[in-house]
Amino acid sequence: MPVGVSPRERIAADNVKQALRWQFLRLSRDIIMQIKFLASAVAAALLSVAAQAEVTIGGFIQAEVSYNDNQTDADGKQDFYQNLYDVGSDIRVQGSHDVTATGKFQWEISTYLDKDMAPASLAFLGDRKLYVRYADSELGSLTVGRDDSPMRMAFNRYDIFNGYASLGTVFNRNSTSRPSNQVKYVSPKMNGLTVRVAGLFGTTDGTSEPERGYHGTVSYDVNPMFNFDLGMSVENDRGEINGKDRDAWLAGVRGELMPNLTYGIAYVNASNWAAAGASESKNWMVAETLQYVMGDHTFRMGHSHEDASAANLYLLGYEYALPEVAMGATKISSALYLELSHIDNKAGGDRVTGNDTDGVMLTTAGTDPTTLAAGFYISF
């Protein structure tokens, strides 16, 4: 016992300590109870939101093999067979949350499985799409983030083939396809008219995205046989080519000639630069497509002509849709396809229409390249 402290004072001090201990325990219990209450309230709120929300996990798996004649691979080999390779497969997480009677809050994070498909500078997650959107059936939709640009949305109506790695695309779009820093508005369809506009702000390092740019397209659906698309993009100071502009114009008509037989004709006028300090390169392209659907069988034909290279691309395609499979609420669709492409390379260039993938699909200069590809896709 400390000197100068009486037994009565020691007992009083012990009583105070005991009282403080009990008060601390009571306070701790109350705090824990409050935390549990708040956690229960937050959980209830999240469950309430989740009950009104729809979050799905899906994706698209596509791969093909090909034989490439009069072409050179990354190792310098000509006339080569290419083993199974990925054609833009991805995994997608999408959410949709009811906000009003006519409006939804939507978002998507989709990621390429093959990281060679996206610039290395983009984040691992969301390198394909990464956006938030408010979509209203009466007001239209407003999207912020990485998503299809208005020009890409217009081009997709004419690019009907499956495997772009096997030259299965009729266009080099000459504008950014999925800008990372985009604000996009798409109007509701009114009397057949749909308007899409977007602003692009801020270059992403390691990509060809512009420092700033503007896209705008208009689609006018008159009747089943005649539907029209007009579009333009103006992009300035691209990340890879400082100080250079890239402009593109699109005009197209599409429709149904007869039941199950559709067509598309599109004209593109573009100006761009091949590298920093290079002179301006002007180019135009025209493309035509036909598609006929007969039950599970789809037949496609396409042609495009590029002015700068004086080259003509010819495409034939066949697709067989496999039976749809249901796994709970998820529906899985899949198909097998064949595509044959041939380039009449009049100018003898080594990069021509529909042939802009690095390293693998370069033309042997002065020859006419041909590719036969067989592939499959699974959508879930």
3-state secondary structure 147-178: CCCHHHHHHCCCCCCCCHHHCCCCCCCCCCCC
- Among the residue ranges 118-127, 235-244, 252-261, 352-361, the one predicted with the least confidence is 352-361
Residue type, 345: N
CA distance 238 to 215: 15
Domain co-membership, 231 together with 359: yes
Domain co-membership, 133 together with 230: yes
DSSP three-state, residue 28:
helix
Q: 23-45 pLDDT, tens per residue?
A: 555 555 554 454 444 445 444 44
Q: Which of 51-65, 91-105, 266-280 has the highest mean pLDDT?
A: 91-105
Domain co-membership, 20 together with 116: no
Out of 51, 68, 86, a domain closes at: 51
pLDDT at 24: 52
Is a pLDDT exceeding 80 seen at residue 4? no
Burial 350-363 (b: 16+ CB within 10 A, else e): bbbbbbeeeebbbb
Of 35, 94, 27, nearest in space to 59 by CA: 94
Question: Which is more confident, 380 or 5?
Answer: 380
Domain co-membership, 26 together with 139: no
Residue type, 71: Q
Q: Tell me, rounded to whole angstroms, the distance of Cα 107 from its chain centroid.
A: 13
Phi and psi at residue 152, in whole multiples of 5°?
-65, -40
Overall average pLDDT of the 322-334 stretch: 90
pTM: 0.78
Question: Which is more confident, 204 or 279?
Answer: 204
Task: Tell me the CA distances in angstroms from 177 to 12, 142, 165, 182, 359, one per residue in order.
Answer: 79, 17, 16, 11, 21
CA distance 303 to 353: 10
Q: What angle do CA 248, 251, 256 make, to 5 degrees?
A: 145
CA distance 82 to 372: 10
| 63 bridge partner residues | 86, 376
pLDDT at 123: 60
CA distance 110 to 369: 34
pLDDT at 243: 59
- Among the residue ranges 110-119, 181-190, 278-287, 343-352, the one predicted with the least confidence is 343-352
Give me the DSSP letters along 299-315.
EEEEEEEETTTTEEEEE
Overall average pLDDT of the 302-323 stretch: 88
pLDDT band at 172 (very low <50, low <70, confident <90, very high): low
* Token representation of residue 182: 């985009």
- Among the residue ranges 44-58, 125-139, 237-251, the one predicted with the least confidence is 44-58
Domain co-membership, 74 together with 114: yes
Contacts of 153 (CB under 8 A, 6+ apart): 186, 196, 217
pLDDT at 169: 64
Domain co-membership, 168 together with 265: yes
* Token representation of residue 207: 């990509």
CATH of the domain at 117: 2.40.160.10
Task: Tell me the CA distances in angstroms from 5 to 8, 17, 39, one per residue in order.
Answer: 8, 16, 48
pLDDT at 291: 97
- Name the burial class of residue 170, with classes exposed (0-12), middle (13-18) and buried (19+) by CB atoms within 10 angstroms of its CB: buried
Contacts of 261 (CB under 8 A, 6+ apart): 290, 291, 292
Is a pLDDT exceeding 50 seen at residue 355? no
CA distance 171 to 70: 21
Domain co-membership, 309 together with 347: yes
Q: 283-293 pLDDT, tens per residue?
A: 788 889 999 99
Overall average pLDDT of the 149-156 stretch: 90
Residue type, 50: A
Domain co-membership, 22 together with 147: no
Domain co-membership, 87 together with 46: no
Count of structural domains within the chain: 2
Domain co-membership, 39 together with 83: no
Domain co-membership, 127 together with 138: yes
Of 165, 156, 194, 198, nearest in space to 180 by CA: 198
CA distance 18 to 251: 86
Contact predicate 285/305, CB 8 Å: yes
Q: 70-118 pLDDT, tens per residue?
A: 776 667 777 888 889 888 899 999 999 999 999 999 999 999 988 666 6
Query: Residue 49 belongs to what H/E stretch?
Result: helix 7-51
- Among the residue ranges 222-226, 267-271, 337-341, the one predicted with the least confidence is 267-271
DSSP three-state, residue 269:
strand
| Structural domain boundaries, residue 3 | 1-51
Contact predicate 221/190, CB 8 Å: no
Domain co-membership, 43 together with 67: no
Give me the DSSP letters along 169-224.
-S---SS-SS-SSEEEEEPPPBTTEEEEEEEEESPPTTS--EEEEEEEEEEEE-SS
Of 184, 222, 219, nearest in space to 201 by CA: 184
